[in-house]
Amino acid sequence: MTGNPVTPDGRYLVVRGRLWRCANPALPPAERDALVHELMAARRAKGAAMRAGDAAGRETARARVDAAKHALGERGPVWWTDGAADLNRHLVRNSPYAHWYEQWLAGGEPAG
């Protein structure tokens, strides 16, 4: 058992017991790569601004992070179309994925 698990439907990554929305898998690879590159650059800019005590720079970088995450589908309207609720940031143990996650933690093959 290595890495963070992704729910069977590919919607969420589980980090420390919390669900985090994955990027939209329908994004073309080149677009996804460009957006991930922008996201990482924005995060580095935010860190640099914080270390420099630059509040305006930090807010500009935070806006860039938010825009990249929206474009990736990790924030904003959900990218799936079946009407399922958005469980982003919910504890996995309080979600429909609880049984699947328990199986994953136990090292078993999670049922989909």
Given a cut of 80, whether residue 110 has pLDDT beyond it is no
Residue 3: predicted pLDDT: 83
Which pLDDT band holds residue 112 (cuts at 50, 70, 90)?
low
Interacting residues of 36 by C-beta distance below 8 A, sequence separation 6+: 23, 68, 72
Which pLDDT band holds residue 108 (cuts at 50, 70, 90)?
low
Residue 107: predicted pLDDT: 86
Strands (E), the chain: 12-15, 18-21
Q: Which tens digits make up the pLDDT trace of 2-42?
A: 689 999 999 999 999 999 999 999 999 999 999 999 999 99
Radius of gyration of the chain, Cα coordinates, nearest whole angstrom: 16
Q: Average pLDDT in the 85-95 region? A: 97
- pTM score: 0.86
The ranges assigned to domains in the chain are 1-22+77-112, 26-73
Q: How many Cβ atoms are within 10 Å of 47's Cβ, its own excluded?
A: 12
Q: Which tens digits make up the pLDDT trace of 62-80?
A: 999 999 999 999 999 999 9
